[in-house]
């Protein structure tokens, strides 16, 4: 069988002012595939000088209004072409994402490419349908409340959904008329670089959308600290997110928006309307994307009276999630993004064992493809809320199962965590569903499901899961300034 990846070539250079360029000092780093350890390409190891050049290009584009000066209907047409470019290159983008990041190619194609394209199209379509306001003032004046792009937006994203995380930010930022400088994760930079080329092909003018790969401390920090960046939109860990807010305050008080970690509780009451569906959602959602999802339901709370029955069903599903070659179309769980992340996951598994949790499944690395990074789907029972594996985000295929006695007990346990990204509650009792959903401190609560998702709804967290919301029309709030223009009316009548 021909290797579908053999025809792919990668260009690891930055895209600044519409041109492919090496890092100013010529430095590169190796981009290795987690699938089998192969060297994909050398990527530009950009630093402060490259960030300066990209910000200057973005600023020049903003000042001469080559993009923000276009009528919204024209920007819409270009954004829709940009989305169409992703679909036209879907197979190439999906294979690149899989090789670079390790996720199964079937999901890279059906989820990542499609969601990123849909997001870009949706914000493009929205931009000529959002109206400004006139305030209800006295008739002696007219107060116009208008939205203006903030200017140059810095975007820093993680590696778990490289195209989707980028699209959630660049799509509303670009649609609103801003210039963008995107720094992708050093662990998965390749599709972001292609996005910049596809944007140019669609007609986004040079300088408007720049992509500068590199390490966090070397390229990310100069972007967050830059005095000529008006807004920094970050998705990543809570540890780095806190630094982003510090850097924003330390520099020019740029607007800072952060989408951070999670340790989401999934709560199953004994009166759950469909236990099989709840089991499938609990297992499927924690193992999807190898558990490398910010909103993964990594704390499963099952009411004590049904816990044994629930776990018996859950264990029967585990074999479906054995890791396999992500390039095989049948694989549902792929490779962990790199060796560092795999070792982190394995360390958490050891801490679970050491702190007295009961290992029911998995618990070690696997090797379906030589040279790759793989971890078995892992389930711990007997977890208590004070254990490290219940408190900290693991970002791997590890499910911690806890139990509870009643609604008050589980709400208290679920909320006893620094994160507040998502939650779920399974019950047929409408009062319990509403009461518990309201009491949970989370940006999104699912009732009798876990995987509902749509670009029309905001995504983001309470507490240390971050500040601000991606997706939906609310995202425009992050990338626009509100301006009031008072017009005095000395009416002759």
List residues with catalytic annotation. 259, 294
Among 191, 243, 417, 422, binds ligand NAD (CB under 6 A): 243
DSSP three-state, residue 43: strand
DSSP three-state, residue 272: coil
Alpha helices (H) in 150-305, listed in sequence order: 162-175, 190-202, 221-225, 238-250, 275-287
Among 395, 404, 426, 479, binds ligand NAD (CB under 6 A): 395
Of residues 158 and 297, the one with the C-beta less far from ligand NAD: 158
Span from 171-179, 305-313, 406-414, 458-466 in contact with ligand NAD (CB under 6 A) = 458-466
Among 172, 220, 323, 352, binds ligand NAD (CB under 6 A): 220
- The two counts, helices (H) then strands (E), for the chain are 15, 24
Among 83, 93, 94, 240, binds ligand NAD (CB under 6 A): 240
Decide: is 216 part of the binding site for ligand NAD (CB under 6 A).
yes
d(CA 139, CA 116): 46
**Alpha-carbon distances of 256 from 96, 180, 328, rounded to whole Å:** 30, 14, 40
CB of 186 to ligand NAD, least distance (A): 5
CB of 131 to ligand NAD, least distance (A): 28
Of residues 115 and 160, the one with the C-beta less far from ligand NAD: 160
188 close to 166: Cβ distance less than 8 angstroms: no
User: Contacts with ligand NAD: how many residues (CB under 6 A)?
Assistant: 31
Span from 56-64, 230-238, 351-359, 424-432 in contact with ligand NAD (CB under 6 A) = 230-238
344 close to 396: Cβ distance less than 8 angstroms: yes
CB of 373 to ligand NAD, least distance (A): 14
Span from 73-81, 82-90, 135-143, 460-468 in contact with ligand NAD (CB under 6 A) = 460-468
Decide: is 294 part of the binding site for ligand NAD (CB under 6 A).
yes
Decide: is 186 part of the binding site for ligand NAD (CB under 6 A).
yes
CB of 120 to ligand NAD, least distance (A): 17
SS3 readout for 389-457: HHHCCCCCCEEEEEEECCHHHHHHHHHCCCEECEEEEECCCHHHHHHHHHHCCCCEEEECCCCCCCCCC
Of residues 138 and 253, the one with the C-beta less far from ligand NAD: 253
Among 213, 236, 323, 368, binds ligand NAD (CB under 6 A): 236
Decide: is 298 part of the binding site for ligand NAD (CB under 6 A).
no
Beta-ladder partners of 373: none
Decide: is 259 part of the binding site for ligand NAD (CB under 6 A).
yes
CB of 475 to ligand NAD, least distance (A): 12
Decide: is 261 part of the binding site for ligand NAD (CB under 6 A).
yes
Smallest CA-to-CA distance from 157 within 186, 177, 179, 178 is with 186
Decide: is 188 part of the binding site for ligand NAD (CB under 6 A).
no
Restricted to residues 375-394, the positions that interact with ligand NAD (CB under 6 A) are 393
Of residues 327 and 421, the one with the C-beta less far from ligand NAD: 421
DSSP three-state, residue 119: helix
Of residues 165 and 436, the one with the C-beta less far from ligand NAD: 165
Of residues 256 and 349, the one with the C-beta less far from ligand NAD: 256
d(CA 342, CA 260): 20
Of residues 45 and 183, the one with the C-beta less far from ligand NAD: 183
Contacts of 446 (CB under 8 A, 6+ apart): 422, 423, 424, 425, 452
Decide: is 396 part of the binding site for ligand NAD (CB under 6 A).
no
**Alpha-carbon distances of 145 from 67, 166, 177, 482, 485, rounded to whole Å:** 22, 29, 17, 7, 7
Smallest CA-to-CA distance from 313 within 284, 341, 334, 344 is with 284
| Max CA distance (Å), the chain | 84
227 close to 254: Cβ distance less than 8 angstroms: no
DSSP classification of residue 385: T
196 close to 211: Cβ distance less than 8 angstroms: yes
Give residue 409's Cα distance to chain centre. Answer: 31
CA end-to-end span of the chain, whole Å? 83
Decide: is 262 part of the binding site for ligand NAD (CB under 6 A).
yes
Contacts of 23 (CB under 8 A, 6+ apart): 14, 44, 45, 46, 47, 50, 214
CB of 465 to ligand NAD, least distance (A): 6
Decide: is 156 part of the binding site for ligand NAD (CB under 6 A).
yes
CB of 397 to ligand NAD, least distance (A): 14
Of residues 83 and 224, the one with the C-beta less far from ligand NAD: 224
Decide: is 160 part of the binding site for ligand NAD (CB under 6 A).
yes
CB of 355 to ligand NAD, least distance (A): 21
- Return residues touching ligand NAD (CB under 6 A): 156-160, 165, 183, 185-186, 215-217, 220-221, 224, 235-237, 240, 243, 259-262, 294, 393, 395, 421, 461, 465-466
């Amino acid at each position: 069988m021909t290797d579908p990846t053999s025809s792919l070539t990668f260009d690891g250079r930055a895209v600044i002012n519409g041109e492919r360029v090496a890092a100013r000092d010529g430095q590169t780093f190796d981009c290795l595939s987690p699938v089998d350890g192969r060297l994909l390409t050398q990527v530009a190891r950009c630093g402060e000088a490259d960030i300066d050049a990209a910000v200057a290009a973005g600023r020049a584009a903003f000042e001469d209004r080559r993009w923000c000066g276009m009528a919204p209907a024209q920007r819409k047409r270009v954004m829709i072409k940009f989305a169409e470019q992703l679909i036209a290159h879907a197979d190439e983008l999906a294979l690149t994402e899989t090789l670079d990041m390790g996720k199964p190619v079937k999901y890279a194609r059906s989820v990542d490419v499609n969601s990123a394209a849909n997001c870009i199209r949706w914000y493009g379509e929205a931009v000529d349908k959002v109206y400004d306001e006139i305030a209800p003032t006295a008739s002696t004046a007219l107060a116009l409340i208008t939205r203006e792009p903030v200017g140059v937006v810095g975007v820093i994203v993680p590696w778990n959904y490289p195209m989707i995380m980028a699209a959630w930010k660049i799509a509303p930022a670009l649609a609103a008329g801003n210039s963008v400088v995107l720094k992708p994760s050093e662990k998965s930079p390749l599709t972001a670089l292609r996005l910049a080329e596809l944007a140019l092909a669609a007609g986004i003018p040079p300088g408007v959308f720049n992509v500068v790969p590199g390490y966090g401390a070397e390229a990310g920090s100069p972007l967050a600290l830059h005095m000529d960046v008006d807004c920094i939109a970050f998705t990543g860990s809570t540890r780095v997110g806190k630094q982003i807010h510090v850097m924003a305050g330390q520099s020019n008080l740029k607007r800072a928006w952060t989408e951070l970690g999670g340790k989401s509780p999934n709560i199953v009451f004994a009166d759950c309307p469909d236990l099989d569906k709840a089991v499938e959602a609990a297992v499927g959602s924690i193992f999807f994307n190898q558990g490398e999802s910010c909103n993964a339901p990594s704390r499963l709370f099952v009411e004590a009276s049904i816990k044994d029955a629930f776990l018996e069903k859950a264990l029967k599903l585990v074999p479906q999630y054995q890791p396999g070659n992500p390039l095989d179309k049948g694989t549902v769980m792929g490779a962990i993004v790199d060796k560092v992340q795999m070792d982190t996951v394995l360390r958490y598994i050891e801490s679970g064992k050491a702190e007295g949790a009961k290992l029911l499944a998995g618990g070690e690395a696997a090797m379906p493809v030589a040279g790759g990074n793989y971890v078995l789907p892992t389930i711990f029972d007997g977890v208590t809320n004070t254990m490290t594996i219940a408190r900290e985000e693991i970002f791997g295929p590890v499910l911690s199962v806890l139990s509870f006695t009643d609604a008050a007990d589980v709400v208290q346990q679920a909320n006893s965590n620094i994160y507040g990204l998502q939650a779920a509650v399974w019950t047929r009792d409408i009062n319990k569903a509403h009461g518990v959903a309201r009491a949970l401190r989370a940006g999104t609560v699912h009732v009798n499901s876990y995987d509902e998702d749509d670009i029309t709804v905001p995504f983001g967290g309470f507490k240390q899961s971050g500040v601000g919301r991606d997706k939906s029309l609310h995202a425009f709030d992050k990338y626009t300034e509100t301006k009031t223009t008072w017009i005095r009316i000395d009416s002759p009548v």
